[in-house]
Chains A and B, each alone.
Chain A
């Protein structure tokens, strides 16, 4: 509790700092300006030694008395105010609620402070990066859209949650899983299997795959939310569990894996806390259809967007390893992509009974 108190204060101080920027500039008749690190590919670099995407030092000045930036500046101050209100009230909230909280019509005008959530979300990210405060520290949560099942016991608001005793539905991963909010009391698993799709996670959970192979099954239903990534990272870090990632065989699957492993471009600053550089890509690999004799007709033709995205990935620093170049090239040459679901073509339980066991046995994964 004491730790939490201290942290809150730090973040709140940072938020109040935004007001100080305005006040100090006004005192000196200067244009109030906030420096915001640029969140784009141009401002990230891949630290090969750490295996992380790191944010560069390029910054963008957001000034109040600049016609093009005035509104953004005003919005930034409003969001900072709303976030500090959360801190004071010790509440957490969603991106959407922040949007509603800060939306109103500006006095004497027809103009709204924010017209859509698309305007407020980036402002929150701006504050995260410029104050180098994590979203969790800002008390902003994402939707709970992850599930976990396996031999792990949590303490959540004083409740004991044993993920081995929650049936096939498992435990819904909260969006904030920092130790203050979620305590990992016990974990006896041997590894973490992070599955892209909820459907395949369901399959594995129903088949009690985790019991036979003594692992934790995690899913983020697509691009895993922060809670899921952070939890995988904690299990990896605190319990030394290897993390295997199981995704569709398409460029988006590759990217999901890379975000889990090295971090995302947009929130590169959070890589430190989120990324799992040692995570392994277990499948679906473009080599699998041949190896597991998947018929060509369960493949899907790559569309133009897929091809463009795949080529883009090949240019990312962190996909430059020869194995990865070969992996992506193989997909491009075949011109096909495969969904995990396609394994059902052979047998409903092919994934549980044949595919994963063989993968684990052969240690057939990519790094």
Chain B
């Protein structure tokens, strides 16, 4: 580390730009060298000075890119390839169709089981625009080469490191080149490449380049062989894909696991997210160093022209005003502005009131799509989503979106159905110690590592969930069966490191996340209160029915077992009905109390069915006709079973999700409504009991 680093001008410039946006590893910044024990002359030292290529640097510091251990490395490779595929498709206006295949590679002739394997081939195929032949080597075998860095536009990738770093990691651990097939259209030829990276020079080495026959009319396929470890559960490839599918319901994702299964994540949202526009930097977001560089690089000949054309939201008139305030002649040449004058100009800009940057550079997921994603992948009773209006941090526009899925998974919902376990004296219903789960996204990409360093996570912790009827111990996540979804969409997501794992802690960002979470919490609170009320009504209603049985049995015993029990029971039930009158009606229970009125962008799943933006459910229903494998958030598979038995039972069987889906079918008949209706969500006609039984064959679900 005592060695001084110097970089080629081009690399240094790019790295400097990176510095502008995020902290760069200490090691790349020359520090005052500590006095060596042995005196070394300047000449000797000078002889040792040598250029370090980025590739060399990252070879040594691979953890900075997310390759710290074999398990994480496998995920990072998948993630880089999938991110690129989705970026490319969306930019080209194509609904993405992505296949991820993980194959075990044998190292000694025999194929080990997936959990023991140490080497994998990752193949990611997309139906995107393809890549022109000439660019392929540099894209896949040159670090810091890409199309997204030099622009301000929301995308998953931003640095130009991702896929080549994955390739480099593969090369480093297995010695194998990256293979690419790409085709730009049905009329074009498909090109096959094998490339490696010359780490000294950070330049591509092409091993193989030929035209081949490819069954796909268009798209790109990347295959990388890497050392890795496959393990399900938290922060696994499975979890990442699962979460990707939640935040990207417009993507059709196919995943061939190393265990030889194929998981389908169907497309449930059939519109592409609106294509984000590219914007110029906003003056508030620029740091002084960057500002100086822009002064040097501009094509404008006058300062006022530079201000007006190189930044957004600075009309010529405002540019002149700024110049006047900074006492800089508007026609001064930008290149000649240096030192204190440049600094004064920079200060004045920061003092001037400037409109917030345009937000069409962002493409938030949207409340409807978030609901759709959550509803598709997470079992629950209540779903809600909030998209905040755009805000700005350091001149970068961003949008925070939050979502929430609450409620027991169907397995848990079934628990109370099991024969009641007698409770001993002093014993209570077991308190659920389960904590909420936070799923985090940046530009639609799930973030699985460094949760506690992430701004989103901190915002979740600092929200007072107790206000919304959810338990929370000090400094901890809220308790209960709950998934909290937070997404930050921005032209530049401020990650805490190159491996893009946690969002940095800007006040503006924190504030927006907190506001979004509070709104979700508020709606959850309303839902919980209503449900509680409905439950107490239900208890009232049931209390008599519950005790009638006991009373009749005891009377029968008192009468020496000679009582016409059924008759007495019927009589008492009749009295109960007449006494509870209005309470007994369904309206009191489900409709009027549990409905999502006042709860925009929410879905409520009750025993009677679902309410809220059920059209989503209808779409899910239509889309899932192929009976996909369901996974929960831990990536554990749940066998798909067609369910008929449970629906035979009158009330015990038609619960929760079953009923919801049935309701979904009913909702399909209702006309589709636009996503952002401020008025009351419609209520689909409730299917009656006989309907429920008729529509018995449903494609998915669990017992």
Contact = CB atoms under 8 A, between A and B. Distances in A.
A111 B546 contact: yes
B309 to A, nearest CB: 71
Contacts of B554: 19, 74, 77-78, 80-81
Question: Contact size class for B?
Answer: 20 to 34
B558 A16 contact: yes
Given A19-B555, A23-B555, A105-B423, A29 B547 contact: no
B422 interface: yes
B505 to A, nearest CB: 45
Contacts of B544: 64-65, 70
Interface in A75-127: 77-78, 80-81, 84-85, 104-113, 115-116
Contacts of A35: none
Interface stretch (B28-36, B347-355, B396-404, B569-577): B569-577
B543 A67 contact: yes
B547 A106 contact: yes
Interface in A296-349: none
A80 B550 contact: no
A22 interface: yes
B572 A26 contact: yes
A78 B550 contact: yes
A48 B130 CA distance: 108
A104 B425 CA distance: 11
Contacts of B551: 22, 64, 73-74, 77
B557 interface: yes
A116 B425 CA distance: 6
A18 B558 contact: yes
Contact of B575 (A26, A73, A74, A104): A26
B688 to A, nearest CB: 24
B575 A110 contact: no
A67 B547 CA distance: 11
B540 interface: yes
A23 B575 CA distance: 12
A113 B558 contact: no
B558 A31 contact: no
B422 A112 contact: yes
Contacts of A104: 422
Interface in B542-586: 543-544, 546-547, 549-551, 554-555, 557-559, 563, 568, 571-572, 574-576, 578-579
Given A71-B547, A110-B429, A15 B558 contact: yes
Contacts of B546: 106-109, 111
Contact of A26 (B550, B568, B578): B568
Interface string A1-45: 000000000000001101100110011011100000000000000
Interface in B568-622: 568, 571-572, 574-576, 578-579
A77 B550 contact: yes
B416 interface: yes
B422 A74 contact: no
Interface in A131-179: none
B520 to A, nearest CB: 31
A32 B623 CA distance: 56
Contacts of B45: none
Nearest to B573: A26
B420 interface: yes
Interface string B349-390: 000000000000000000000000000000000000000000
A23 B568 contact: yes
A65 B576 contact: yes
Nearest to B572: A26
Contacts of A113: 550
A287 to B, nearest CB: 47
B579 A31 contact: yes
Contact of B420 (A31, A74, A84, A108): A108
Given A19-B554, A23-B568, A77-B555, A31 B422 contact: no
Contact of A23 (B543, B563, B574, B579): B563
Interface in A276-304: none
B425 A115 contact: yes
Given A31-B579, A106-B550, A81 B568 contact: no
A203 to B, nearest CB: 39
Nearest to A29: B575
Contacts of B550: 74, 77-78, 106, 113
A110 B420 contact: yes
B571 to A, nearest CB: 4
B341 to A, nearest CB: 78
A19 B549 contact: no
B585 to A, nearest CB: 17
B575 A16 contact: no
Given A19-B558, A22-B555, A105-B422, A110 B416 contact: yes
Nearest to B422: A105
A149 B348 CA distance: 106
Contacts of B559: 16, 19, 23
A112 B543 contact: no
Nearest to A83: B558
A294 to B, nearest CB: 45
Contacts of B555: 18-19, 22-23, 77, 81
Contacts of B425: 115-116
Nearest to B579: A65
A21 B578 CA distance: 19
Nearest to B580: A65
Contact of A107 (B429, B549, B557, B574): B549
Contact of A85 (B543, B549, B557): B557
A73 B558 contact: no
A81 B416 CA distance: 30
Nearest to A64: B551
A74 B555 CA distance: 10
A84 B544 CA distance: 24
Contacts of A109: 420, 546
B558 A80 contact: yes
Contacts of B571: 26-27, 29
Contacts of B575: 26, 29-31, 65
A67 B558 contact: no
A139 to B, nearest CB: 16
Contact of A67 (B421, B540, B574): B540
A288 B78 CA distance: 95
Contacts of A111: 546
Given A31-B575, A77-B555, A106 B568 contact: no
A30 B543 CA distance: 18
A75 B422 CA distance: 17
A183 B546 CA distance: 47
Q: Which of A26, A70, A71, A77 has the most CB of B within 10 A?
A: A26
Contacts of A106: 546-547, 549-550
A19 B421 CA distance: 29
A264 to B, nearest CB: 27
A60 to B, nearest CB: 19
B423 A70 contact: no
Contacts of B557: 81, 84-85
Interface string B22-60: 000000000000000000000000000000000000000
A110 B423 contact: yes
Contacts of B578: 29
B188 to A, nearest CB: 67
Given A74-B547, A81-B554, A115-B425, 18 more contacts: A18-B555, A19-B558, A19-B563, A22-B555, A27-B571, A65-B575, A70-B544, A71-B547, A73-B547, A74-B554, A78-B550, A81-B555, A81-B558, A104-B422, A106-B549, A108-B420, A110-B420, A116-B426
10 contacts: A22-B555, A64-B572, A65-B576, A70-B547, A78-B550, A78-B554, A81-B554, A84-B557, A104-B422, A106-B550
Which 5 A-B residue pairs are closest in the complex by CB-CB distance?
A19-B558, A26-B571, A19-B555, A74-B547, A81-B554
Interface of A: 15-16, 18-19, 22-23, 26-27, 29-31, 64-65, 67, 70-71, 73-74, 77-78, 80-81, 84-85, 104-113, 115-116
